[in-house]
Structure 1
Amino acid sequence: MRFRLGLTGSIGMGKSTTAGLFSEAGCPVWDADAVVHKLYAKHGAAVRPVAAQFPQAVRGGAISREVLRGIIATDPTALPRIESIVHPLVRADREAFAAAHPDAIGVFDIPLLFETGGDAEMDATACVTIPPEVQRQRVLARGTMTAEDVDRILARQMPNAEKCARSDYVIETDTVEHARAQVQTVLADIGERLRNA
């Protein structure tokens, strides 16, 4: 892969939409969450090792993320144990993706990019952002989480201001048009960097 751009941002910030804009602009996009879904699905590579640790998390031959969330909420040792199983599988998938796109500017959509140290494997990083009150409105509007769920997730994530400060690029997702224009600016800058390398 010619260039690896790590794309991150807290829940509800518009990361998936922004990843779609990079895809629209011709960049192959690797989605960490989609890979985890695949690993947890029936016959997924994570099902057997997770089931060995948490048999109650298996439903119909797949790992239930809802059950796992409950386990993580009550057992402080659960998350590191799950991560020790899942992270190596995710990393292997990411490397296979990079090898499959040798000439591309690839975008790696990774919610916990900085928290997991994934930024060290990127050529640059971009963080999506919006004001916290808009973020909370967006997440609660999905109807899949309570305010307590949102607080618990945010408590595990690096503060947005810190993510933005650590990123090479910051993309404000107040409107799709504004985000699209910023994606074009980021890609133009990366193109310039590659020409001058």
Structure 2
Amino acid sequence: MMIIGLTGSIGMGKSTTAAMFREAGIPVYDADAAVADLYVKGGAAVEPLEAAFPGVTRDGAVDREALRQRVLGNDEAMAKLNAVVHPLVGKDRIGFFERAKAANADIVVLDIPLLFETGGHANVDAVVVASAPAHMQRERVLAREGMTEARLDDILKRQTPDAEKRARAQFVVDTSQGLDHARAQVREIIAVLRDPLRRPARVVEPK
């Protein structure tokens, strides 16, 4: 079973690209959705995050905005957050792999926003990056409710630059030319991965 890491900076169309892999019958693990499940009432991250950051929960669930305010621009707080969340996500991911194996999947996709930043690229067989021009990225993100230039700039400072991601990936999906164009790229990536004569050598070496 080939493990493909899908990533992309904020506003680059990663989630839309993940949906296209899913539409093509490829199991996709959504790390953001897994984290969201950990934050809801009764979620596994609620109690440990309240212990680490008193006051960030409300009505038995994590208040994501309150948590964001506590860790924004604070590397030590971010490391503390990751120390709580990452092991829980890892446990959830094991269940995903077990289900995919039982379904005889030949390819799975891990949709991970911070794939390079967390070193997760070392654990996949190939990387797919969703990308678009910087001006389009900013337009998309600033159209979101509550987003500001300052907040976007802070997010981008914490993400590997798009140019570096594209250079380190085996595949790039250009999301700037419409859904049909992106969907065709996804189909071609799947075809290449399933063809031993066209499949690229694994260039993401484990640490």
- TM-score under structure 1 normalisation? 0.95
Amino acid at match of 1:42: K
- C-alpha deviations, 1:48-102, integer Å up to 9, x for none? 1111011211111111111111111264421000100100111111121011111
- Please tell me whether the aligned partners of residues 192 and 198 of structure 2 are also in contact (alpha carbons under 8 angstroms): no
Structure 2 residue aligned with 1:180? 183
Matches within 5 A, 1:74-153: 75-102=74-101, 103-104=104-105, 105-153=107-155
**Equivalent-residue separation in structure 2 for 1:123 and 1:76 (angstroms):** 30
- C-alpha deviations, 1:82-135, integer Å up to 9, x for none? 100100111111121011111211111000001111111111110000000100
**Equivalent-residue separation in structure 2 for 1:136 and 1:58 (angstroms):** 31
Q: Check if 1:45 corresponds to 2:48.
A: no
- C-alpha deviations, 1:138-188, integer Å up to 9, x for none? 011122311111111100000000011111101100111110010011000
**Distance of aligned partners of 1:28 and 1:148 in 2 relative to their CA distance in 1, 3 Å threshold:** same
Aligned-partner SS, 2:195: helix
More helix by share: 1
Aligned-partner SS, 1:92: helix
**Equivalent-residue separation in structure 1 for 2:141 and 2:65 (angstroms):** 17
Q: Check if 1:22 corresponds to 2:24.
A: no
**Equivalent-residue separation in structure 1 for 2:73 and 2:90 (angstroms):** 27
**Distance of aligned partners of 1:74 and 1:162 in 2 relative to their CA distance in 1, 3 Å threshold:** closer
CA-atom RMSD, angstroms?
Answer: 1.6
- Please tell me whether the aligned partners of residues 3 and 124 of structure 2 are also in contact (alpha carbons under 8 angstroms): yes
Aligned-partner SS, 2:43: coil
Q: Which ranges of structure 1 fall in alignment gaps of 5 or more residues?
A: none
Structure 1 residue aligned with 2:71? 72
Divergent runs of 4+, >6 A: 194-197
Q: CA deviation at 1:194?
A: 9.0
- C-alpha deviations, 1:24-51, integer Å up to 9, x for none? 1001111000000000111000111111
Amino acid at match of 2:29: W
Percentage of pairs with the same residue? 52
